[in-house]
Amino acid sequence: MKTNQISFWIAAIALVAMISSCSKKETTNTVKPVIPPSHPISAGNISGFIKGTLLTGSTYTVTADVYVKAGDTLLAQPGAIVVVKNNSQFIIQGVFQSMGSQAAPVSFNSDSNTPGTWGGFACDSAQAVTIQWTKILNTGGPDNTGSARRTLVVSAPIKVDLEDNWIENGQDDGLGLFGGCSITVLRNTIQSGGSTDGEAINIKTGAKGVVAYNVVFSQAGTGTKLETASVVTTAETNVDVYNNTYVSCGWRRGAAEPGRGVSAGVSARGNIYNNIIVNCYHGIEIFQDADVANVKYGNNLFYSTANTFVDATVTPNLIVDLRSGYYPAGAAGVPQSSDLISTAVGNNDPMFTSFDNGFLYVNGAPNSNDFHLKSGSPAIGKGNTSFTLANPSLAGGAAPDADMGAYPTDGKGNKH
């Protein structure tokens, strides 16, 4: 009887399941005309004044500086490939959109594929910049006056949207975001940049926005640096920096100018939460001249795979106590109770999927590590989702996560 009843119920449920699986969700497929790209640019050599569309699957060779005039737009379709020669750069005074996709990223690289061999994107006075799913590699060659060039620089109060990009092997700053621009910097991987100086994400002079779910690996200087200006002449720089993973940053600049995971200085303010900082020279440094009262921070994880780092290239050898550098002495930043701070090797290890435990790599070093969290990582569930964003409208829907770092277990983070 009981068995029969059970059988009946099983059969009934199976029947309902069968019927329901037979139903089909409504699908809609609007038939659109094929819209050709505006001003398609033919594959081959490009230079000088350019506007229009860099086409999917086409390869372009930049032979001299490319200018996009104010009012003009340069758009790259998914899969466009751009090879830059002769230390050239893109000077954008109009609109630049590089619209790669996960399946077909856009690529910008030099012909020699070595760090510092082209100029990057000088968007100082651009009208708008959107870069998605794009690889920008090996920038940082000097400009015509001998000054170093950032991979991307913006110095105007415009919207800058940078999502899911790879910025690798530059010789100077990765992103220079200045002049009151509004920034959305999400899910990018910035790695092995800066020869012996340069920050990964350098934000100054009144820029505001969100830096989240980025991975910064082996930057010469600081992972994310917030500053206003040495002369107070702009609004304060005010940025939300959360759910980023900073690994092995700040070593190539030498002990006299140690780099950090995140720093806030010279009248900058912001929110610094949910970041994982591993094997960086210094962790989070809130300088005394920052707008200290308005720099909020917590729920950050600090870890080192060794207790000390020994630099044997100098005489006498230099021994760096790694754990005292999480919140360096003399700065205004202090450990927070919500932080996970490693006290020994193995303690509060974020448990990356793979990591070679390195500290100092050369500029342009390959990165074969995987910074996704293994299950059981102490970073899981320790994120803060309730702090108030300074710039919620610039978060692009990427809210702070309950897990720390760029790869939360809910998959909402970095997609690389």
Partner 1 sequence: MRKFYLLISLISCFFYASAQTPSIRGKVYDMATNSTLPGAVVQLDGTGKQTVTDANGNFQFTGIEPGSHTIKIRFIGFDEIEKKVDVSADRTTTINIPLSTKANDLKEVSVFGSVNKESDEASRATEKNSNNLLNVVGAQAMQKSPDINAANVLQRVSGVTIQRNAGGDDAFAIIRGLEPRYNNVLVNGVSIASPDSKTRLVSLSVVPSDLLEKIEVNKTLLPEMEGDAIGGTVNMIFKDAADQRQFSVSSSIGYEQLFIDRKFLDFSKADIHTYSPSEMYGASYIAQPNDFTRSNLDFKSIQPPPSETFTFSYGDRFFNKKLGFIIGDTYQNNYFGSDVEGENGNADPKDPDHRPRANDIYNRSISSREILNNLIAHLDYKINDRNKIVLDNVLLYSRLEEASITADTSITGGNGGRTIPGTGPVSGIDQSSTTNQLIENLKLSGNHILGNHFKFDWYGAFSDAFARTPDQADINTNILITYDPATGTFTKTPEYFDEIDRVWAHNNDQDYDGAGNLTYKTTFGNAVLELKAGGLYRHKTRYNSEDEYILRPVANANGEKAEFTNIYDAQWTVYNPLGAGTFNINNYNLLENITTYYGQFKLSFPRLDIFGGVRSESTTQQVRIRADITNANGVDKDYTDILPSISFKYKLNDITNLRLAYFASIARPAFFELVPNNPPNSNGTVTKGNPDLLHTTANNYDLRYELFPKPDEQFFVGVYYKDLTNPIEYAYEGNSNAAVVYEPINAPSAKVAGAELAYTRFFGNIGISGNYAYNYSDVNALKVDRNNPSVNVYEHRMLVGASVHDLNVSLLYRNKKAGINAQLAYQYLGKTLVGIYPDNGDNYIQQPMSTLAFSADKTIGKHFAVFTKLNNLLNTHTTVVLHNFQNGNEVTKATYLFGIRYNY
Give the binding site for partner 1 (CB under 8 A): 48-49, 67, 69, 91, 93, 122, 124, 142-149, 153, 155, 176, 178-179, 195-197, 202, 204-205, 227-236, 251-258, 265-267, 285, 287-289, 291-293, 311, 313-315, 318, 328-331, 360-363, 365
Whose Cβ is closer to partner 1: residue 17's or residue 232's? 232
Give min distance, CB of 217 to partner 1, in A: 13
Residue 169 CB-density burial (10 A; 0-12 exposed, 13-18 middle, 19+ buried): buried
Whose Cβ is closer to partner 1: residue 247's or residue 406's? 247
Identify which of 87, 198, 176 has the alpha carbon closest to the alpha carbon of residue 126: 176
Give min distance, CB of 97 to partner 1, in A: 20
Give min distance, CB of 338 to partner 1, in A: 24
Identify which of 140, 243, 154 has the alpha carbon closest to the alpha carbon of residue 198: 140
Whose Cβ is closer to partner 1: residue 77's or residue 195's? 195
Identify which of 90, 93, 89 has the alpha carbon closest to the alpha carbon of residue 71: 93
Q: Which residues contact 42 (CB under 8 A, 6 or more apart)?
A: 58
Give min distance, CB of 238 to partner 1, in A: 12
What is the DSSP code (8-state) at residue 118? B
Whose Cβ is closer to partner 1: residue 197's or residue 395's? 197
Give min distance, CB of 143 to partner 1, in A: 6
Give min distance, CB of 131 to partner 1, in A: 18
Q: Which residues contact 336 (CB under 8 A, 6 or more apart)?
A: 297, 298, 299, 300
Alpha-carbon distances of 228 from 75, 103, 205, 232, rounded to whole Å = 31, 38, 4, 7
Identify which of 48, 44, 42 has the alpha carbon closest to the alpha carbon of residue 60: 44
Whose Cβ is closer to partner 1: residue 122's or residue 216's? 122
Strand, coil or helix: 246: strand
Give min distance, CB of 51 to partner 1, in A: 14
Residue 342 φ then ψ, to 5°: -70, 135
Whose Cβ is closer to partner 1: residue 205's or residue 367's? 205
Query: How far is it, in rounded angstroms, from Cα 113 to Cα 342?
Result: 38
What length does the chain have?
A: 416
Give min distance, CB of 391 to partner 1, in A: 18
Whose Cβ is closer to partner 1: residue 107's or residue 304's? 304
Whose Cβ is closer to partner 1: residue 298's or residue 358's? 358
Beta strands in 230-341 (DSSP E): 238-242, 245-247, 260-264, 269-273, 276-278, 282-286, 295-298, 301-303, 308-311, 318-321, 340-341
Answer whether 183's CB lies under 8 Å from 209's CB: yes
Give min distance, CB of 337 to partner 1, in A: 22
Whose Cβ is closer to partner 1: residue 99's or residue 229's? 229
